[in-house]
């Protein structure tokens, strides 16, 4: 019997990790949500790097779509390198770090707290410098993650952000959708994307497309191809790809479109179909495709959780793809589990 990689084991733990987060961190999420209601921030900022920054992008779209507040990503070096005096007193800040100790993330969180922002840390490590730098800390409760490529911690960071958003806005529909996620993730783990793998062949580059929250999923997917398989992958908005990058899409060029059941699905699918009609190897997670090929997905009944569920079958696919190419997805070349930047 073949031993599972740590990455595969951690992908399989996503439903359990999500349930653990929703159970054990409910009180801290409620406390931070109340702080946001009391503050009524005019804007929010996010502080993160790597997969955590992709989680922050997902949360950004979720907040803008649900709470109607603009969200901007702050470069951590503003505090750690440049010493900029950011005026954040009218807003809130969400810092995301699995380890909770990267110096630049911590420095930016500290600066946001000093400026008067309501600061909330989402982390897999408590206690940690990032929670000490923030007013509120939420343990994402993903549990130990040994594989260098983050999987369950990425998902749990977003689930924590969605639960926080639902608490802040008293959105009962979103609350119910978040509570249902462990079951949906359990379904998503079982989906088979091997049809895409069988077509990739010796491709050395591909595009990942998405719109709205699904763009964050596409960005995370592109990073995982690079991390686990030394394969060049770029993420683009399904609209922005037409402004230049489309020039590289030739016959058999792989394009994977992450389409959720939301307002952007039709436009994303149209672009995937157009690529397929031009001979590209185009796949999309939608029943609406006509020329592109369909990949299986889990429809969760809510546009935000629907987008998040798309990353789970992709993780299973890319872990298997990495092994098929002779790589060890647990130990990508030249990468460390924790990267501390200044």
For 255, how many CA atoms within 13 A lie in the half-sphere containing its CB? 36
* Residues 6+ positions from 106 with CB-CB distance below 8 Å: 97, 100, 129, 130, 133
Higher pLDDT, 164 or 334: 164
DSSP of 107-151: HHHHHHHHTT-EEEEEESSSS-HHHHHSSEEEE-------SSS-S
Higher pLDDT, 164 or 342: 164
pLDDT at position 201 is 79
- Bridging pattern class, strands 205-210 and 254-258: parallel
Average pLDDT over residues 82-94: 93
pLDDT at position 252 is 76
Average pLDDT over residues 223-235: 90
pLDDT at position 336 is 55
- Which of 63-67, 73-77, 78-82, 102-106 shows the lowest mean pLDDT across its residues? 78-82
Distance (Å, whole) CA 123 – CA 52: 10
Judged against a pLDDT cut of 70, whether residue 107 lies above it is answered with yes
Distance (Å, whole) CA 67 – CA 249: 37
Question: Is residue 28 helix, strand or coil?
Answer: helix
pLDDT at position 246 is 60
The model's pLDDT over 246-261, given as tens digits with 9 standing for 90+, comes to: 645 677 789 999 999 9
pLDDT band, residue 3 (cuts 50/70/90)? confident
Distance (Å, whole) CA 27 – CA 33: 10
pLDDT at position 231 is 85
DSSP of 14-80: HHHHHHHHHHHTHHHHHHHHHHHHHH--S-EEEE--HHHHHHHHHHHHHHHHHT---EEEPPTHHHH
Q: How many residues does the chain have?
A: 342
- Which of 201-205, 260-264, 302-306, 332-336 shows the lowest mean pLDDT across its residues? 332-336
pLDDT band, residue 74 (cuts 50/70/90)? very high
pTM of the model: 0.95
pLDDT at position 335 is 52
Burial 61-99 (b: 16+ CB within 10 A, else e): bbbeebbebebeebebebbbeeeeebebeebbbbbbbbb
Judged against a pLDDT cut of 70, whether residue 288 lies above it is answered with yes
- Which of 42-56, 145-159, 227-241, 274-288 shows the lowest mean pLDDT across its residues? 227-241
């Amino acid at each position: 019997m073949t031993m599972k990689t740590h990455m595969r084991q951690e992908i399989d733990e996503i439903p359990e990790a999500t349930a653990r987060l929703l159970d054990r961190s409910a009180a801290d999420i409620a406390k931070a949500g109340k702080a946001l209601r009391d503050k009524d921030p005019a804007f929010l900022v996010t502080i993160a790097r790597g997969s955590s920054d992709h989680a922050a992008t997902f949360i950004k779209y979720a907040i803008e779509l649900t709470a109607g507040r603009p969200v901007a990503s702050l470069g951590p070096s503003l505090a750690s390198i440049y010493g900029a005096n950011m005026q954040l007193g009218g807003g809130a800040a969400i810092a995301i770090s699995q380890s909770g100790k990267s110096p630049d993330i911590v420095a930016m969180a500290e600066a946001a707290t000093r400026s008067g922002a309501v600061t909330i840390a989402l982390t897999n490590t408590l206690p940690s410098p990032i929670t000490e730098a923030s007013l509120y800390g939420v343990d994402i409760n993903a549990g130990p993650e040994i594989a260098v490529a983050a999987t369950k911690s990425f998902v749990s960071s977003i689930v924590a952000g969605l639960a926080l958003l639902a608490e802040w806005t008293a959105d009962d529909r979103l609350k119910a959708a978040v509570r249902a996620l462990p079951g949906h993730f359990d379904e998503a783990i079982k989906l088979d994307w091997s049809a895409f793998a069988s077509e990739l062949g010796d491709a050395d580059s591909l595009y990942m497309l998405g719109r709205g929250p699904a763009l964050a999923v596409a960005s995370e997917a592109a990073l995982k191809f690079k991390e686990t398989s030394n394969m060049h992958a770029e993420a683009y908005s399904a609209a922005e790809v037409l402004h230049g990058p489309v020039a590289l899409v030739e016959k058999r060029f792989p394009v994977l479109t992450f389409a959720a059941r939301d307002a952007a699905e039709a436009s994303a699918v149209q672009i995937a179909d157009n690529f397929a009609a031009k001979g590209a190897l185009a796949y999309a997670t939608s029943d609406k495709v006509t020329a592109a090929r369909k990949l299986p997905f889990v429809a969760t009944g809510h546009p935000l959780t629907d987008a998040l569920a798309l990353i789970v079958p992709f993780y299973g696919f890319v872990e298997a793809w990495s092994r098929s190419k002779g790589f060890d997805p647990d130990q990508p070349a030249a990468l460390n589990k924790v990267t501390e930047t200044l």
